[in-house]
């Protein structure tokens, strides 16, 4: 008499997701009894009745099809299977579910022919690369190898969620711990605003804070020591960014030297040994500067060839009541002030993505640095939603009444500073003068709108 064998079972990632979400309340396999196909050994007769759920079968060999990228050892390890194991039908399902829970597969079926248990897998088509948000680790082959050693089935990409993504997060925590850093790592889909789509899975240290640590500066002349130290102090304890931290440090020093006339200055920032304490993870940097010759600022020409009127720029900037802007122009117009002025002109007409790029033309005989500007205006944005976060109704009403840019109008990038700093000797102006005025602009690339959030805080 032919021996009854367990059926071919089929389930997909939607069922697996349901099972994970409902934590055992959803039993996707029960809904498919009408579709179960009996797989019988050669010569066996088709039977209408199924075996008992507790009956065990000896799986002498176990095969995986459709997942050539992964080794048999990796798949067995994640499925928690061993050849020669005695398995019930539900056990085969449970081990298959472990593979589905990784998020790597869109579909899985399995069958047993009396000797061999076969899992047929369909790889997910939406796996994404890993992106480190603020982890003080160097991306590359070494880190990738460390993750592959710790996480079976990790081959450089992960699903948006699932057991594999969670395992990568835990592995990153282990790697940080091995380097003296106790941290909590969480993952989230990363949306690239340029393409309006999820392009990676970001891993972020959520606790403790990760900051730029102490900055050691080399190659600075005696004349520039105090100013370079001021820049170093201003960058220290700012938020650390895995991809851009070194670049941001270099930019801060580069702007200082450009302002001071060192048109050919070169700045290099390198990450040093990390200092981890209870309060934060501080990532120190070593900065090397090659100052070069100091030049006087000469002419600045727009793409049209027209000269910028530096006196006009100085006057416009000096009229601001913003202390930060006044500090920037102390001692006269700098290249940075001129670039901000030009960008401001474009942003006042809605070109919020405007990019101004200076190209230096040196006159070594006269010791003068002249600049030609390239401008990429970008699209025009309009005013979106205005939100005022202060709780007092009368203050919120006064702030709403003073805001003059209606929804749908071309957005003026200079409207915020004008709003806060040019109310004059009015009740609202006096309130602004005694408070810390904060704002947030949220640009929506898809709709070309800018949402504005305003908030007043008590000065300490």
Q: Do 413 and 313 have their domain in common?
A: no
- Tell me, yes or no, whether 36 lies in a domain: yes
Q: What is the pTM of this model?
A: 0.76
CATH number, domain with residue 410: 3.10.20.310
Query: What CA–CA distance (Å, rounded) separates 157 from 154?
Result: 7
Assess whether 399 and 363 both reside in one domain: no
Closest CA to 7 of 33, 39, 43, 32: 39
Do 304 and 259 have their domain in common? no
The pLDDT of residue 236 is above 90? yes
Residue 81 is assigned to a structural domain of this protein: yes
- Nearby residues of 410 by Cβ (< 8 Å), 6 or more positions away: 349, 350, 380, 381, 382, 383
Are 151 and 177 contained in the same domain? yes
**Tell me: the pLDDT tens digits for 258-301?**
889 999 999 999 999 997 777 899 999 999 999 999 999 889 99
Query: Predicted confidence band at 29 (pLDDT cuts at 50, 70, 90)?
Result: very low
Query: What 3-state DSSP class applies to 396?
Result: helix
Band (pLDDT 50/70/90 cuts) for residue 420 is: confident
Do 23 and 113 share a domain, yes or no? yes
Any domain includes 2? no
Is the same domain home to 15 and 113? yes
Structural domain boundaries, residue 217: 211-290
Provide the domain count of the chain: 5
* Burial track 338-376 (b if 16+ CB lie within 10 A, e otherwise): bbbbbbbbbbeebbbbbebebeeeeeeeeebbbbebebe
User: What is the C-alpha separation between 9 and 389, in angstroms, rounded?
Assistant: 55
Torsions phi, psi for 361 (to 5 deg): -130, 110
56 and 35: one domain?
yes
As a whole number, mean pLDDT of residues 359-364 equals 94
Q: The domain spanning residue 361 has which CATH number?
A: 3.10.20
Give 317's pLDDT tier (boundaries 50, 70, 90). Answer: low
pLDDT for 333 equals 59
First vs last Cα of the chain: how many Å apart?
88
pLDDT tens column, 119-163: 999 999 999 999 999 999 999 999 999 999 999 999 999 999 999
Two structure tokens written together for 213: 């640590």
d(CA 329, CA 338): 10
Is there a contact between 308 and 372 (Cβ–Cβ < 8 Å)?
Answer: no
**Cα 309 to chain center, whole Å?**
40
Q: Clarify whether residues 284 and 222 are in a common domain.
A: yes
- Residue 339 pLDDT greater than 60, yes or no: yes
One domain, residues 314 and 349: yes
Q: What is the predicted pLDDT for the residue at 329?
A: 34
Q: Is the residue at 1 inside a domain? A: no
Q: Compute CA distances 113 → 8, 57, 58, 75, 277, whole Å.
A: 10, 10, 10, 20, 58
Is 279 domain-assigned? yes
Last residue of a domain, one of 259, 290, 321: 290
Within a domain: 268: yes
Residue 26 has pLDDT above 70, yes or no: no
Q: Are residues 307 and 365 in the same domain?
A: yes
E-state strands within 244-366: 266-271, 275-276, 281-290, 296-301, 355-363
- pLDDT at position 228 is 97
- Residue 220 resides in a domain: yes
In the listed set 244, 274, 290, which residue is the last one of a domain according to the structure?
Answer: 290
Residues 259 and 313 occupy one common structural domain: no
The residue among 207, 224, 249 that closes a domain is 207
**Whole-number Å distance between alpha carbons of 226 and 364:** 27
Q: What percent of the chain is modeled with pLDDT above 90?
A: 68
Sheet hosting strand 435-444, strand order edge to edge? 382-388, 449-458, 435-444
Q: If pLDDT is split at 50, 70 and 90, which confidence band does 335 have?
A: confident
Average model confidence (pLDDT) across the chain:
85
Tell whether 398 is covered by a domain.
yes
Mean pLDDT of 207-222: 97
- pLDDT of 12 reads 52
Residues 119 and 132 in one domain: no
């Amino acid at each position: 008499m032919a021996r009854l064998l367990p059926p071919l079972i089929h389930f997909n990632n939607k069922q697996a997701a349901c099972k994970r979400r409902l934590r055992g309340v959803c039993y996707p396999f029960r809904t498919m009894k009408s579709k179960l196909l009996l797989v019988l050994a050669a010569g066996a007769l088709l039977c209408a009745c199924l075996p008992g759920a507790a009956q065990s079968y000896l799986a002498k060999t176990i095969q995986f099809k459709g997942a050539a990228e992964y080794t048999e050892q990796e798949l067995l390890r994640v499925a928690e299977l061993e050849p020669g194991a005695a398995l019930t039908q539900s056990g085969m399902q449970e081990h298959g579910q472990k593979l589905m829970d990784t998020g790597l597969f869109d579909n899985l079926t399995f069958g047993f022919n009396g000797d061999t248990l076969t899992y047929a897998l369909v790889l997910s088509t939406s796996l994404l690369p890993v992106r480190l948000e603020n982890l003080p680790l160097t991306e590359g082959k070494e880190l990738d190898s460390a993750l592959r050693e710790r996480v079976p089935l990790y081959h450089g990409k992960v699903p948006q969620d699932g057991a594999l993504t969670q395992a990568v997060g835990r592995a990153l925590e282990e790697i940080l711990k091995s380097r003296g850093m106790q941290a909590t790592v969480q993952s989230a889909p990363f949306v690239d605003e340029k393409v309006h789509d999820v392009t990676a899975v970001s891993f972020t240290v959520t606790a403790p804070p990760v900051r730029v640590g102490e900055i050691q500066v080399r190659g600075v002349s005696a004349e520039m020591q105090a100013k370079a130290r001021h820049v170093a102090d201003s960058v220290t304890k700012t938020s650390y960014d895995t991809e851009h931290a070194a670049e941001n440090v270099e930019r801060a020093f580069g702007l200082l030297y450009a302002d001071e006339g060192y048109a050919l200055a070169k700045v290099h920032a390198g990450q040093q040994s990390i200092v981890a304490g209870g309060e934060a993870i501080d990532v120190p940097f070593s900065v090397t500067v090659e100052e070069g010759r100091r030049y006087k600022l000469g002419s600045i020409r727009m793409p049209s060839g027209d000269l910028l009127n530096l006196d006009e720029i100085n006057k416009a900037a000096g009229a601001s009541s913003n202390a930060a802007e006044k500090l920037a122009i102390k001692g006269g117009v700098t290249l940075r002030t001129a670039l901000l002025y030009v960008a401001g002109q474009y942003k006042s007409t809605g070109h919020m993505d405007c990019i101004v790029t200076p190209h230096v033309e040196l006159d070594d005989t006269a010791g003068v640095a002249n600049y030609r500007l390239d401008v990429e205006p970008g699209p025009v944005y309009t005013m979106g939603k205005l939100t005022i976060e202060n709780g007092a109704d009368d203050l919120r009403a006064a702030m709403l009444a003073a805001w003059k840019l209606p929804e749908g109008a071309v957005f003026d990038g200079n409207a915020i500073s004008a709003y806060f700093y040019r109310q004059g000797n009015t009740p609202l102006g006096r309130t602004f003068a005694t408070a810390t005025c904060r704002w947030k602009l949220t640009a929506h690339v898809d709709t070309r709108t800018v949402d504005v959030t305003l908030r007043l805080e008590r000065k300490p």
